Structure 1
Amino acid sequence: MKKLCFKNRNGVLYFGIGGNFKSSKMKDTKINRNIMISKYRNGELDEELGFKVEKKPTLLMFLNKALQEKRETLKVSSVQSYSNSYKRIVAYFEDKDISGFKPIEIKDFQDKLARKYSRSLINNVRTLLREAFDLAVLSELINVNPVVAVRAPKVLKAKKKQIPFTLDEIDLILENSQGYVRNFLGISFFTGMRGGEILALTWDDIDFVTDTISITKTVSRGMINSTKTQAGTRDIEMIPQARKFFEAQRLETGLKNSFIFLQSDMKSHHGTNVLFYKQFKNLIKRLGLEDRSMHNTRHTFASIMLNNKIEPLWVSATLGHKSLDVTLGVYTHFMPRKEKMVIGFLEKRYKTGTHYS
């Protein structure tokens, strides 16, 4: 190892190897010279001295690659979700050497997240970590992916209970709102559509002859994207209660032959539902109703329909669920239970008895 040299320039300590010297930004004292010598021996000055520094492969490097693959294949809204998970990982592990991980570290991290965050965020975290370590395995930097040995944690964060609006509350909300906000909420309550799906609707998607709504896209973070899932692309029935609000909105924007809900310039579509969300929150607060999210309008539609014995398959298809199992898994508790199952056709056949009775 070459000797580290020093110079004093106006009382400031300079250091270097050969003829090039750099300021240490410290006073030239014996203590500071010893500090610089110690840093030099530990390799902390290699980059400043122009030595070639080989950086160790880190988790951050492979996380960036995994996230970039998401950007190339997923919709903007999904990428944003993964980006949020990415931030949690980096904040915890920082720029740790990719070869220095043990499964217990992954478990400890997951358990910490499980006390505060949702199942979906933790699943995204696991996906990014697994894919990052898979890339490291392919690069022959590690032999085993540490995520594989760790089970998904049990989420401890209590899921917020959804409390649907009653029909009386719906009437109260709609009676006390007006204009495009009233129309937006009316359509939300009586179609079960997601907010982004409503904002992406154009008048071409509405057939007033067949009373059909064609849902093929959604708005998310200012972008028009395809629907959330394949099942989300659907044609649904426009029931009379929903038609009323579409007709009212047609008087506002129908001649524009564009998006059903337009911004104040009457040209641009809404990039988010923030404006409607704020109006909705202020409205239910003013009416003294229990605080609920605007997405609750979708839960309200499902619960009211199922509670009034509307065919579950129709409700599931209208909501755009990929299967009836999804609908029943979320909303079974809203379906009325019969005290006793009456199987009429069998009772009629066997009421007089049989030869084997």
Structure 2
Amino acid sequence: MGKIVARPETGKLYFDFRFRGKRCREQSTLPDTSQNRKQLEKILARIEAEITLGSFEYAAYFPNSPNAEKFAAMSKNAVPSFHETPLFRDFSDDWLNEMKIQWRQSHIKTVTGTLNNYLNPHFGEKEVGCITKKDILDFRASLAKVTTRSGNSLSASRINRIMTPLRMILSEAANRHEFSSPYHGIKSLKVPRTDVEPFTIDEVRQIINTVRSDFRNYYTVRFFTGMRTGEIDGLQWDYVDFTRRQILIRQSLVDGRMEHTKNDGSFRTIEMSQLVFDALKDQEEATKTKGFVFRTRTGGPLNHNNVTKRVWYPLLRHLGLRKRRPYQTRHTAATLWLAAGENPEWIARQMGHTTTEMLFRVYSRYVPNLTRRDGSAFERLLINEFDAQANPEEETNS
């Protein structure tokens, strides 16, 4: 629905309405008074009625407007240049409001940032039905030229995360307004596989034996449960079951706020080993059975950035170990379980993976002998068979 608006810099009124999916703004010479507003509102009502009936002629109301020429040319050539669809900015706002109910606050914050910083500045004034495949590819190419605060270019994975809301918005707009999504056929950028860097059991022993005493239980639990940072920092005593020797993962600490786990796989139960059980029992003496298991002196949750900078990295430097993110404790748990010969399906459940596919794709190279995925069994078979053929008399005598 159109409206009459006053320009702040001139105080003059102008028409703001949509025609053939295009947002049109036409200036008047009238100052902003209640009488002039009523007069223009009557004209606007007549314009919108004619648009609805299909009898509106742009030049009849705004003969000197560049839009009059444009729409006249469209009618003459009978080639529709505009889909009657909303502007990207308007549609994306509606889409975001509809999607919020099913997202965690952290994800809402991420998508909102993507819209405000990237998508709306580029596509905001385009109508969703007029965005082309070339527009999308040009936009993605422009992202590769963006530099971060550290002076680095955006990574392929970061660019893919920016493009995902664009794909979802255009797909939804295409369904609602019955046009083909221009995103069809555009594949995500190939992301180089990131290599995990788990700690060896000897390195784990050094870390746990050397770390300051008030964080020894914390890192013991991290190394031998595979919990994510947000999961262990948000762990509360209500979800520690000493009777069944289980840790229930139901929530996660994200940006200082407790949120439900991000998917069904993350909602899980972790079995306590004896080391973890003892560490939590010892921690129980320090923080009692209320609130967060690992917390600050004031009772609040740990700040992972603070812990990483003040405890984790200085400890690695002190031990002469290669600098690695704390998340590698999770990868370490997976490789240690595999090396111990635990059932892969059980490990996947402990990690919060819905299948074992990721487990073997990411971690199996660290434990080739114990998982028997190094070809040694096949080699033994060949040696035995060829030895048998080379020495048939020995086989007969035996």
Q: Normalising by the residue count of structure 1, what TM-score does the alignment of the two structures yield?
A: 0.72
Number of residue pairs matched by the alignment:
300
1:147 to partner: Cα distance = 1.4
1:103 to partner: Cα distance = 0.4
- Provide the residue aligned with 2:308 in structure 1: 277
1:298 to partner: Cα distance = 0.2
- Provide the residue aligned with 1:10 in structure 2: none
Per-residue displacement from partner, 1:131-180 (whole Å, max 9, x unpaired)?
Answer: 3234544664x7332112x4223325x44422111122212222221234
Pair 1:138–1:317, CA change in 2 (3 A)? closer
Distance in 1, Cα, partners of 2:198 & 2:286: 29
1:225 to partner: Cα distance = 1.7
Residue among 168, 179, 187 paired with 1:131: 168
Where 2:377 maps in the other structure, the secondary structure is coil
- Aligned pair 1:71/2:100, yes or no? yes
Pair 1:138–1:235, CA change in 2 (3 A)? closer
- Provide the residue aligned with 2:35 in structure 1: none
Task: Give 1:262's aligned amino acid.
Answer: R
Pair 1:200–1:163, CA change in 2 (3 A)? same
- Aligned pair 1:247/2:281, yes or no? yes
Q: How does 1:196-215 map to 2 (within 5 A)?
A: 196-215=230-249
- Provide the residue aligned with 2:290 in structure 1: 257
Distance in 2, Cα, partners of 1:333 & 1:195: 24
Pair 1:70–1:123, CA change in 2 (3 A)? farther
Distance in 1, Cα, partners of 2:11 & 2:340: 83
1:110 to partner: Cα distance = 3.0
- Provide the residue aligned with 1:221 in structure 2: 255
Q: What fraction of aligned residue pairs are identical, expressed as a percent?
A: 25
Ranges in structure 2 where 5+ consecutive residues have no aligned partner: 1-8, 14-23, 33-39, 49-84, 145-152, 369-373, 386-398
1:252 to partner: Cα distance = 0.9
- Aligned pair 1:286/2:322, yes or no? no
Residue among 285, 301, 309 paired with 2:341: 309
Residue among 131, 144, 154 paired with 2:189: 154
Per-residue displacement from partner, 1:325-345 (whole Å, max 9, x unpaired)?
Answer: 2322222222312501589xx
Distance in 2, Cα, partners of 1:153 & 1:285: 38
Ranges in structure 1 where 5+ consecutive residues have no aligned partner: 1-13, 21-41, 348-357
Task: Tell whether the 8 Å contact from 2:119 to 2:166 is kept in structure 1 after alignment.
Answer: no
- Provide the residue aligned with 2:217 in structure 1: 183
- Provide the residue aligned with 1:144 in structure 2: 180
Higher relative contact order (CA 8 A, sep 6+): 1
Task: Tell whether the 8 Å contact from 1:284 to 1:291 is kept in structure 2 after alignment.
Answer: yes
1:16 to partner: Cα distance = 7.9
Task: Give 2:155's aligned amino acid.
Answer: Y
Per-residue displacement from partner, 1:86-120 (whole Å, max 9, x unpaired)?
Answer: 3453376153312442101212333554773343x
Where 1:214 maps in the other structure, the secondary structure is strand
Higher normalized helix content (fraction of residues): 2
Cα RMSD (Å) of the superposition? 3.3
Task: Tell whether the 8 Å contact from 2:196 to 2:362 is kept in structure 1 after alignment.
Answer: no
- Provide the residue aligned with 2:155 in structure 1: 117
Where 1:340 maps in the other structure, the secondary structure is helix
Distance in 1, Cα, partners of 2:169 & 2:255: 26
Residue among 83, 88, 102 paired with 1:59: 88
* Of 190-199 and 220-229, the range deviating more from structure 2: 220-229
Task: Give 1:285's aligned amino acid.
Answer: R
Distance in 2, Cα, partners of 1:304 & 1:48: 78
Per-residue displacement from partner, 1:309-329 (whole Å, max 9, x unpaired)?
Answer: 322122111111111123222
